[in-house]
Amino acid sequence: MPLGTSRNWKEISCKASVVDYLADVQIVARRVLSPELYKLFREIYFENYGNEADGLSLAVRLKIQRRCSAGWKLAGIIPFADYWHHPTSENKLGVNFLEAVEE
């Protein structure tokens, strides 16, 4: 039997995975932030779980948080629980995934 299949093919789920969620979070953040703010977001919030966020000024933290949360709401990434019941469609993200992956 091929990997990722079951005896009853109807059991295979096409809902979002953790990898999908993390990719969608980064794609939207990259889209709504300037290159400088995206670099800070990725290094401080995404890779270090926000542990070094206190080193940023309050204005920079709020700008990143406001832009990302607005983008994530529009893309259907938050509220968090809703994301898992209907995957974010490509057109809602406003990004061609093939182009994004090739970058």
60 is a domain residue:
yes
User: Do the domain assignments include residue 1?
Assistant: no
Domain that holds residue 64: 15-102
**Nearest by Cα to 86 from 34, 15, 3:** 15
Contact between 75 and 63 under an 8 Å Cβ cutoff? The reply is: no
Which whole-number Å values give the CA distances from 23 to 5, 10, 26, in the listed order? 24, 26, 5
Identify whether 63 is part of a domain.
Answer: yes
Instruction: Give the Cα separation of 76 and 88 in Å (integer).
Output: 6
For residue 6, the model assigns a pLDDT of 46
Mean pLDDT calculated for residue range 48-57:
88
Statement: the pTM of the whole predicted model exceeds 0.75: no
Which is nearest to 86 in space by CA: 76, 94, 98, 74? 76
User: Measured between alpha carbons, how far is 90 from 103 in angstroms, rounded to an integer?
Assistant: 17
37 within domain boundaries: yes
> Which tens digit of pLDDT belongs to each residue from 3-52?
444 454 444 445 667 888 888 889 999 999 999 999 999 999 888 888 88
- Rounded CA-CA distance 61/41 in Å is 9
Report the distance separating Cα 46 and Cα 33, nearest Å: 14
9 in a domain, yes or no?
no
Domain count for the chain = 1
